[in-house]
Structure 1
């Protein structure tokens, strides 16, 4: 649990650390409230009625005239307590038997000790029944018919007030903690998003916003400076490789001309093969360094024709290459770049196999899959990810006859520029399956808009 907590987002950790103590305090308060002995509402109501009865008795004793007494009794009746004046002799009669939980007995028990009171089923001089008779003086008494007891509710007014007080403290703390955690985590989330979208060759010079608290500004400045240094190193490496590749073309051309004038056929053919291999390496390097696949205009191209053209080019050179798939299917793509990707996969297969199959499959949602299968030695599964990296060659697995190891890297870049994926899988019983998966046309538009945003 703790490992998952500390591995979670900073936003969640700060919010939880701020809210947890308050939540614990509220829970403990609720538990302690439930563990304390609660007083039923009927008891508090009985106490309130008893206090009012005593107040009425005191007011009657203080009244100077009969009119004042009549006015007081009328006022009491309007509050819901029926009352009438009776003889003090009613206090000498038998007391009515009631249960221990009777509301009238509860009222009697809450009267002050000096109050002379008795429960009577009825009085001889009055009309109310049953009543609580309370003495005024030696001659007079008051017979009260209290209102019925209110039922005890599950939630008392005190509990409601305690809950509201807790919420008044709890809710602002939650809101402030969430706001504070968001203020702290938001710049880090922006940095994370900027790092995911970062392209060394494109985008603004300083993609990380240098604003906010001093610590955040320092971090953003350091990331921007690091990005500038990385971009400078990549540009320097690219210029160096491009210059070397261009400079090698001239001596290679002179060497080819001199070799073609050689009078020894076997030596001439061997030298020309080496020159062709060097030329292929240079062209492959220049293609990889240009990274101009994204600059080509996207068109609706006929994929079967495009793939068939690549297959026929290799078949004309004497390789066994076959196409399987529909005769016509229009798909939005960069046709020259996609043809180069298919051609690179076919070329990779012809280097190590006797036969290559190219298959185009159209899925129900119009997404497509282009698989290039050969019958060569295949590639061990643990090296599938490595061979997609630039300048990586696995001579021990497949006896490469030349190249810098950029063919599959170029394919990967082209496929990813089409929002697709390139996967490698060993065939059974032998061979390699290189599969290009491209999204449906509708998905391409959504991904392009999301990428532009």
Structure 2
């Protein structure tokens, strides 16, 4: 079976087709002796024609009423429905649509009448008494016989044919479809799962397993090579940007020292402000290129204590930050990454608001909700999505021309990729902004490492 799964898709389809032929042939050979199929109706037709021929011959030879009655009794014994009529009525019966056959051709006519089409046969299954079929046979110039043509019950051909079709066609096709899906569709489904897992965890070395059909193995190998090249390009770009940002610090520090050593003036203050802004941008860039890798392990922590510590740290730095929520709330997360994300959001709010509150809510099966609520000027709807972009600048953003830097971008990356959560910016009444972090329940996260208690 492993060799079949490793074969090409064309070879698999060929093998499955051969398997289907063998399975149908085997089922037909085993079940046909026990099932009365359509060919049994031909046997019944032959028997009926033979009995009618015998009755016609005996009735033609009868010369007395007693002999004719004996023939009628024989017909009843043979299960043939027949009645004697005067020969003069044959023409009238024929005019009303009843077929007429001479004794010599009665056998052939009977067979043609009983060999009904498929539509008639289906109609007789559901309407067994829908119409009377009969055949008039003139015996001589004064006698004639009218035979009622039988309608074979569905047990003779219809139900056996259905059972035979199910055993020989439906079951093998269902089995073939199941095996096909197992051999071909399941590897494709694993590809989709691997692709989704790759986007959530870039640390996987070989996310696309090289197994299954030859074409799928080739595709998996190509995707792994492409992914590795993309990761190498991204890592090279990150190293380059980190190196550039790091190297800029040295001349920037010298420039700052030279400005500070000069005579105090308005120009010196403006230059120091520009140098400080450049230094802040470099620091944020380095933080974005390093901290967003979110490789820290998952641990069970007390979220209430973690958020209270963040609020205390900002309060000691002269910011009005308070925490509200349950006294204790255990949660499995990446505490360093989550601390960085919440701190960035609180730090951003502190630039524009006088009062900030960190709210923690346990939403049960829906997960955890953390809200950073401030009383600042807020954001317009069209800016809420743009401020997540690195170094977004807008004069109207929070009534400041300094923009938002990388703080929100880093927070969004750490929450979305590091924890599988979401970050939304909402309006606060009457004014202000609410940064809402939604974290999934522990069992919904995309990784399930062993967590110390």
Same-fold call, TM cutoff 0.5: yes
For residue 217 of structure 1, report the CA deviation from its aligned partner: 5.5
The secondary structure found in structure 2 opposite 1:430 is coil
Once the two structures are overlaid, the 10-residue window that deviates more, 200-209 or 297-306, is 200-209
CA contact (8 A) 1:293 1:337 kept: no
CA distance in 1, matches of 2:207, 2:337: 30
* Residue in 2 that maps onto 1:432: 433
Count residues in correspondence: 344
Contact 2:393-2:401 at 8 Å conserved across structures: no
1:321 aligns with 2:321: yes
SS of 1:352's equivalent? coil
Q: Does the C-alpha gap of structure 1 residues 245 and 311 become closer, same or farther in structure 2, counting only changes over 3 Å? A: same
Unaligned runs of 5+ in 1: 1-13, 19-38, 59-87, 115-149
Q: CA deviation at 1:344?
A: 0.6
Q: For residue 278 of structure 1, what is the aligned residue in structure 2? A: 278
Determine if contact 1:304/1:325 at 8 Å carries over to the other structure.
Answer: yes
Partner SS, residue 431 of structure 2: coil
Q: State whether residues 420 and 438 of structure 1, in contact with CA within 8 Å, keep that contact through their aligned partners in structure 2.
A: yes
Distance 2:255 2:208 in 1: 47
How far apart are 1:318 and its partner, in Å? Answer: 3.4
Task: Trace 1:75-114 onto structure 2 (pairs within 5 A).
Answer: 90-91=66-67, 105-106=81-82
What's the CA shift string for 1:75-120, capped at 9, x where partnerless?
Answer: xxxxxxxxxxxxx9842779999xx9x96644999xx998xxxxxx
Q: 1:50 and 1:324 mapped to 2: Cα distance?
A: 97
Q: Structure 2: where are the runs of 5+ without partners?
A: 1-12, 18-37, 58-63, 86-100, 104-149
Residues 403 and 314 of structure 1: is their aligned pair in 2 closer, same or farther, counting only changes over 3 Å? farther
Match of 1:166 in 2: 165
Give me the CA root mean square deviation.
Answer: 4.8
Structure 1 residue 234 displacement after superposition: 0.8
Displacement of 1:264 in angstroms is 1.2
Quick check: which has more Rg, 1 or 2? Answer: 1
The 5 Å alignment of 1:148-297 reads: 155-167=154-166, 168-177=168-177, 179-180=179-180, 183-199=183-199, 201-204=202-205, 207=208, 209=210, 212-214=213-215, 216=216, 219-264=219-264, 269-291=269-291, 294-297=294-297
Instruction: With the length of structure 2 as denominator, give the TM-score of the two structures.
Output: 0.60
DSSP 3-state at the match of 2:351: helix
Q: Specify which structure has the bigger relative contact order, considering alpha-carbon pairs within 8 angstroms and separated by 6 or more residues.
A: 2
| Structure 1 residue matching 2:361: 3-state secondary structure | strand
**Does the residue aligned with 1:353 lie in a helix, a strand or coil?**
coil
Mapped partners of 1:392, 1:325: distance in 2: 32
Q: Give, in angstroms, the shift of residue 47 of structure 1.
A: 8.1
Report how far residue 345 of structure 1 moved.
Answer: 0.6
SS in 2 for 1:252: helix
